[in-house]
């Protein structure tokens, strides 16, 4: 390669970087890092009341972080040449994730271990592990966790219904396109709209059509949200009606992608419909099924809008999910410190639970698909 071609490619190897360029690159990086660290420590000490001088808000720390990020990206190229340019494909995204995820989590930890009620005139006060002790003795939070387990177990029934609908709609039935669109209608509606349309209107105790039908069938005083068990079931049904079409469409797509030759071979071998389903279709559909169930679990763990709109957690907190309970802790009681700690603990539970669930599902998929 000629000198002109090398100049046109702007190729700078690490070996060709001068000592002066190396020195100034490291100096710029260290100065920006020290400025960021000093800004953060100064503001944290000022907010904590350890010193009497500091910034009015955290905005200067944000500016210091942006400056540090720019210097970090530039110095990758200055110090490492062509290899530094390759790092620029990933580094800005990583810095953005740090700014949008890591920093808010650190701030949440700082808030979670403090007594901070927006209705109080004293402001935020560090209270150590008091919020954690309060959480361990809070029966309403424990009830919300139990409810989340029950709501999540209902996904098994939702999956069975969704799989049955997907099998039905994959067959050559009359008006198949019409039924596919019809079953997708609940997914197109907002959960809040479903809450008002079904929970507040159709299930209304006095004039709701479903309540009238229940009275006609012999239920003297139908109350779908007055009894804890009935209220939980009503919430599960409304949530399932909204999201079963989501799993159905994913499973339907998986069924249509199956290798028809395998199904025809099983039929030629004399397998019954049940044997074809249990020994061929179901194992082949496991990867799609696991994906659909996992995504559904994520949506279920965020369940709040239907509960907040219809029951507000009642009766007596019987229908509360963890998300709705934390929301009411913020909105009704203005308890930012305690609510933030509950959210952090819930996040830890979700991460651990989803990790274990993924490992178990991966083993099941390997075991079932290994039999084929």
φ, ψ dihedrals at 123, nearest 5°: 80, -160
Q: What per-residue confidence (pLDDT) applies to 199?
A: 83
Per-residue pLDDT of 196-225, as tens digits, reads 888 888 888 888 888 888 888 888 888 888
pLDDT above 80 for 1: no
pLDDT digits (tens, 9 = 90+) for 166-195: 999 988 888 888 888 888 888 888 888 888
pLDDT at 278 over 70: yes
Q: Kindly report the CATH number that applies to the domain delimited by 133-371.
A: 1.10.3720.10
| Contact between residue 131 and residue 113 where contact means Cβ atoms under 8 Å apart | yes
Q: Is the pLDDT of residue 6 over 70?
A: no
Whole-model pTM? 0.82
Q: Is the pLDDT of residue 371 over 80?
A: no
The CA angle 160-165-171, to the nearest 5 degrees, is 130
Give yes or no for residue 98 having a pLDDT over 70. Answer: yes
Residues 16-36 pLDDT 10s: 678 888 899 999 999 999 999
Q: Which residue has the tokens 């954690």?
A: 132
Residue 7's pLDDT band (boundaries 50, 70, 90)? very low
Phi, psi of 354 (to 5 degrees): -65, -35
Alpha helices in 198-257 (DSSP H): 209-216, 228-256
- Structure token pair of residue 310: 């219809």
Interval 104-140: pLDDT, tens: 888 898 889 988 888 877 778 888 899 999 999 999 9
pLDDT tens digits, 149-162: 999 999 999 999 99
Distance, CA of 214 to chain centre = 37
pLDDT at 12: 54
Secondary element (H or E) of residue 77: helix 59-80
How many Å apart are CA 202 and CA 225, to the nearest integer?
A: 12
Domain boundaries, the chain: 19-112, 133-371
CA distance 298 to 294: 6
> Which strand (E) or helix (H) includes residue 290?
helix 286-301
Is residue 4 scored above 50 in pLDDT? no
If pLDDT is split at 50, 70 and 90, which confidence band does 334 have?
confident
Look at residue 114 and give its three-state secondary structure.
strand
Residue (of 107, 113, 157, 104) closest to 133 by Cα position: 113
End-to-end CA distance of the chain: 55
- Residue 54 backbone zone (phi > 0: left; psi -120 to 50: alpha; other: beta): left
- Which pLDDT does position 189 carry in this prediction? 86
């Amino acid at each position: 390669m000629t000198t002109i071609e090398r100049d046109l490619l702007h190729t700078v190897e690490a070996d060709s970087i001068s000592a002066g360029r190396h020195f100034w690159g490291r100096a710029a990086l260290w100065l920006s890092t020290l400025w960021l660290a000093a800004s953060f420590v100064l503001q944290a000490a000022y907010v904590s009341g350890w010193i009497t001088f500091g910034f009015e808000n955290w905005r200067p720390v944000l500016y210091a972080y942006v400056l540090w990020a720019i210097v970090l990206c530039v110095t990758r190229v200055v110090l490492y040449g062509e290899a530094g340019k390759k790092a620029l494909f990933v580094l800005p995204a990583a810095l953005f994730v740090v700014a949008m995820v890591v920093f808010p989590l650190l701030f949440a930890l700082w808030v979670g271990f403090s007594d901070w009620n927006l209705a109080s005139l004293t402001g935020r006060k560090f209270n150590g592990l008091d919020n954690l002790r309060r959480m361990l003795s809070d029966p309403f939070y424990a009830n919300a966790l139990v409810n989340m387990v029950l709501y999540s177990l209902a996904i098994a029934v939702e999956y069975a219904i969704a799989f049955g609908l997907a099998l039905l709609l994959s067959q050559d039935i009359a008006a198949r396109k019409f039924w596919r669109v019809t079953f997708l209608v609940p997914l197109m509606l907002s959960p809040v709209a479903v809450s008002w349309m079904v929970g507040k209107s159709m299930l209304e105790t006095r004039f709701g059509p479903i309540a009238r039908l229940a009275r006609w069938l012999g239920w003297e005083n139908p109350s779908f949200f007055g009894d804890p068990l009935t209220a939980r079931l009503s919430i599960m049904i409304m949530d399932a009606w909204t999201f079963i079409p989501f799993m159905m469409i994913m499973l339907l797509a998986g069924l249509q992608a199956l290798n028809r030759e395998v199904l025809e071979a099983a039929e030629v071998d004399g397998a019954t419909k049940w044997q074809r389903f249990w020994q061929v279709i179901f194992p082949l559909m496991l990867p799609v099924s696991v994906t659909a169930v996992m995504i559904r679990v994520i949506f279920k763990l965020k369940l709040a809008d239907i509960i907040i709109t219809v029951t507000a957690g009642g009766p007596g907190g019987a229908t509360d999910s963890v998300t709705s309970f934390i929301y009411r802790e913020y909105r009704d009681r203005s308890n930012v410190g305690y609510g933030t700690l509950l959210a952090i603990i819930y996040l830890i539970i979700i991460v651990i639970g989803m990790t274990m669930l993924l490992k178990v599902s991966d083993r099941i998929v390997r075991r079932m698909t290994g039999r084929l």
